[in-house]
Amino acid sequence: MALPTKSKVDMAEALASKFDKLLELMTTQNAMIEKQGQKLDKQKDELEQHHKTMKKHTIMLEAIEHDATKDDRPHEARHLNDEQTWGALDKETLAKIKVTVDGWRDLMQISLVFIALFLTVVTAFISPIIQLFTSPPASSSSTTRGNPLPTVSIQLVALFYYLALIVSIFNSVLCVLGMQWAARLIAVPIGKINLERTLARERRKAVADGYMLPLMGVLFWTLLLAIGFFVLGFLIQLWALSVSFDGPAPILLIGGALATGLSLIIVGIIVASTVHASLHENSPFESPLSNAMRPMLQRIRRHFKRGSPEAQETHGTQEVDRLDNASIEGGIEDVTALIKWNDSDSTDEKALKTYARLVIDTSDTEVLERAVPSFDLEAWHDHASALTPVFHAVRRRFLSTDTSFRVKETIYHQLVPSQNWNSWTVEWHGERAWKDDLGPNALTRWCKGHYERLVGRSRESHRRFFIPWLFFTSLEKGNRDLRGTRLERYEECLGRILRSCHRGSLEVDRSKIFRSAIAECDLLLRDGKADVVARILSHLTRPALWQAFMLNRGTGWYRIEPLVSFITKGLEVEVLDEISYFISNLSDFILVNDELIVQFLFHLKLKLPPNFIIPAHLDLARLLDRVAKRKFVKSYGDTMIYYLNHGGLEKLSDLHPASAFLEACLSLSREPLWWLNMETTPTMKAFERQYHTCFVPLPSLSDEECEDLSSIISGLILNEPSNRIRSVQECKRPILELLDLTSEQREDVITRVLDRVDRSDLIALLMKDSHLEWIRIEPSVTFIARDPQDILASLSTFIGERSFLRRQVTCLLVLECLAEIQSRLPETFTLPEGFDVTRMIEMLVDFRCNIHDWFQHSHTVMVYLDYGAFANIDNLEAAAEFFDLFIEPDLLDLRDRACQYHKRDRAAFYLEEVNKRRATRMAMAGSDDSSSDTDALLAEDMNRSRSNLDDEVVPSVAHRRWWNLLRLAWNRRRNRPQTSVLPRGPDLELGPISPPHVPETDAEVEVPWHEQLL
């Protein structure tokens, strides 16, 4: 039903009324919003004004703070050629020159005034004498041609008066010229910049010092000479007058005596002061004459003092005092001599010397404030070979007590950015890379020691100075790998140290840097910054880290235990697998921290699961041998037994070390204080009871077993896997079984094997895969080989491989073999083609060992280089480092010094050849020649190396044998043990490529070469 019409109208009116009210409200709201917007705009303007005001206040406060703390902050570093610095130094040198010139002017002005008065007096005295010569006598006739000759005394008086007059005039002329020359010293020299003007002023001053100082001496002595001439003429005139009367004239005689006495006193004073200045340093009576007389008089003085008894009694004390004073004065004189002006110096050297001279001699602290920002270490480094003492003298002057705190802070701050100097780096692929030709000098060694002291001050100092310390250490010989190829961050540098601390040259010890890096990681772990340590370790692999730890003999377990615990937590089994190869291939050549290895295994043992079985390729034989020999059984015997009980015994490649280890364990129970070992002895006895049957010797093999053994050994050669590396046990066990046979059975088995494989392959198996010492395999190898050339031919098949370097045991075996057979090589001998000793050179360079062993093996390598192996070297960088180490004088083996000097000449020759080949390769790398041209250049380079070796004069065989006899006699006299493997035979020193055969007797008997060895 529809609503009434009236109701609809009322509703419409009500709605209209409400709509009007809504419009009014909206209008009111819009007005209020507009007012609020205006207020907000006003507030915004006010806030902007406040912001500008606060910004101004901030700038003002920063300026106030900067001004208030400027004395506590270092100056900003500036270059050596900075205008502000040389402006201050130019003013300083001008002030010094003015002081010097004023002194010269005063002396010359005084001399001119005195000469003027003196000439007046001399003229007055000489006038009567002139009249005596020019006035005619009253009794003379007009026919006389000239005046009569005066007496001799009058002639002498005239002579000395005239000499005094002439010398005085000469002195006055020199004074006038000297004043003119001195005026030029303070004139502004020609130069566009302050440095040029300062250097020009210093050069002018150096020239003036060379001429003006002698001129002052000439003025002084000519003035005395003029006075002396006048006094001498006056005395002659006085004495002539005194004796010219018929009777005595006592008054005149007394006057003459007094005048003569006073004159002699004056002469004595002059002589005494000159002699005093000649005999004593820093005498106030110093003069040019005394400086010239000083060497002669001091020598005469020492001669007479040495002969007197009193001098002999106190000679010791005086000599010590003299040496102490001489060392101090010598250092000062050295610096003074180094900073003297030299026209032949370069502009940079002149600037450095002038800078040092002005800084050292100044007493104005304002000059030091303005000069210290330009104490540029980069400029000093470029001339460190000649100016290092000057650098230290300048640095001491800046750090002296009269300088401000700001000057000292600037000096300390100057060292911080030094590793980023442009002279160290080159642009490479958009970043800065280190140059290849960087090397140490006196300044870098000082910086290294300075940073080493700063690193240990605090955590902040370590982070700030560790990278510079590492960099300057890397400049030392053999430490190139410490700095990488480019600028690195702090974490990257720590990681590099952790993985390369065990390397380096023989004379460089990296243990300090390694301990510093370990300590920093330890502190980071204590502070809960495990993520930072993880970032550091991300730059290296765990196997490389374990190898670095175990090869670092200067670090104890307590230092690395926190870091090892952090890395191995929850990964004990994986870590043991990673170190298996290293432990299985321990070599007597490389210096290894044996105790740390066992401690590492003990640490892993505590976290290993109960049912743990050691990795299949972990061979503990060599480690057991080291534990038994180094008396570690008492401390770590239970640790080794733990691993043997968990599969280690079954995986041993050789039971002989285990037998020796077990015997050492059982000997503990027989010690007098056996009860001190109660914790370990039961474990050892239980192990012996369980496995004693494993060490019972087996009977000799039957014919069938010999056939089986020959088949196994033949299979190792014929079925060598190409896709995997065989474990140590896989080859070593059958080889050991062969070597333990009697000589008849061993030769029988070898004969059967040779029916199936080549002779060289069997020799290669024994040399490459036996993992034994040369003394163990020598009888078998000499039986197999028909002559030494067979051995060398077998070695040439694998010693050039990259993997050969990883097997240090095999490297050592090969070196021992080469040393043994070198003296038995036949007359017409040439090395097999491809005989490469590069890998052995790399091992001698990369791994630290006993220095005597290093030289023994290096001698062996040098012999085969002389036989022609030098032409096959492919790693020229390692070869250059090897020869460089060989000729290092500080590394000479004192026990064999004569032989070392003998070999150094050859090493120097090879180093020169290596540098030539490196230059050839660099030239080829920078050229666009085709491959055929490159091959031709390489062939030409190799032929040149061979021809140079052929042309090089080498000692004869007889000469070499005499050297060998002398070496053996010296070694026996010193009772020096040979290597732990086999006593060395005589080395073949500097052998020629094709050595002539020298028979031992007239009727030489043919003896098989292996019998000669045995």
Judge contact between 595 and 627, C-beta under 8 A: no
Contact 549, 564 (CB under 8 A): yes
- Residue by residue, DSSP assigns 362-379 as ---HHHHHHHGGG--HHH
Which pairs count as long-range contacts for 641-648, CB under 8 Å and 24+ apart, including other chains?
A: 641/665, 641/683, 641/684, 641/687, 642/605, 643/601, 643/605, 643/614, 644/620, 644/687, 644/691, 645/687, 646/608, 646/612, 646/613, 646/614, 647/613, 647/614, 648/614, 648/618, 648/620
User: Among 675-679, 716-720, 845-849, whose mean pLDDT is lowest?
Assistant: 675-679
Interval 165-198: pLDDT, tens: 898 899 899 999 988 888 888 888 888 888 888 8
Helix (H) or strand (E) run with residue 434 in it: strand 431-434
What is the distance, to the nearest Å, from the Cα of residue 533 to the centroid of all Cα atoms in its chain?
30
Min mean pLDDT across 228-232, 576-580, 947-951 is at 947-951
**C-alpha span between 696 and 701 (Å, rounded):** 15
The residues pairing with 432 across neighbouring beta strands, listed in sequence order, are 427
Rounded to whole angstroms, the Cα distance separating 814 from 769 reads 12
Residue 464, pLDDT score: 84
Q: How many CB atoms lie within 10 A of CB 54?
A: 11
Query: Which residues sit opposite 486 in a β-bridge?
Result: 433
Q: What is the pLDDT of residue 956?
A: 43
pLDDT per residue as tens digits for the range 400-449: 888 888 888 888 887 766 656 677 777 777 777 777 778 888 888 888 88
- Give the percent of the chain with pLDDT over 70: 78
Q: Which residue has the tokens 């080469």?
A: 818
Report the predicted TM-score, pTM, of the whole model to 2 decimal places: 0.68
CA distances in angstroms from 878 to 191, 480, 505, 948, listed in the order given: 51, 12, 12, 21
pLDDT digits (tens, 9 = 90+) for 876-891: 888 888 888 777 655 5
Q: Grade residue 670 by pLDDT with cuts at 50, 70 and 90.
A: low
Q: What is the pLDDT of residues 929-957, one digit of tens each?
A: 444 444 444 444 444 444 444 444 444 44
> Which residues are paired to 428 by β-bridges?
431
Task: Name the residue among 625, 644, 633, 975 with its Cα closest to residue 773.
Answer: 625
Length of the chain: 1014
Q: Are 979 and 856 in contact (CB under 8 A)?
A: yes
CA distances from 81 to 201, 352, 354, 373, 533 (A): 16, 10, 12, 11, 43
pLDDT tens, position by position, 767-788: 888 888 888 888 888 888 888 8
> Residue 146's pLDDT is what?
64
Instruction: Give the pLDDT confidence score for residue 900 in this predicted structure.
Output: 54
**Three state DSSP letters for 213-226:** HHHHHHHHHHHHHH
Note the pLDDT of residue 6: 65
pLDDT at position 419 is 59
CA-based nearest residue to 786, from 837, 816, 821: 821
Residue 497: partners with Cβ closer than 8 Å, 6 or more residues away: 470, 482, 510, 513, 514, 517
pLDDT at res. 927: 53
The residues, any chain, with a CB within 8 Å of residue 961's CB and separated by 6 or more, are 986, 998
Would you list the domain boundaries of the chain?
Answer: 24-68, 260-303, 758-916+953-1013
- Considering only CA atoms, which of 574, 570, 566 is closest in space to residue 534? 566
- Backbone phi and psi for residue 925, each to the nearest 5 degrees, phi listed first: -65, -30
Lowest mean pLDDT among 205-209, 229-233, 340-344, 928-932: 928-932
Q: What is the mean pLDDT of residues 208-229?
A: 84
Closest to 112 in 3D by CA, of 210, 166, 160, 179: 179
Residue 826 has pLDDT above 50, yes or no: yes
What residue type is 136 in one-letter code? P
Amino acid at 959: H
What average pLDDT does the segment 862-875 reach?
86
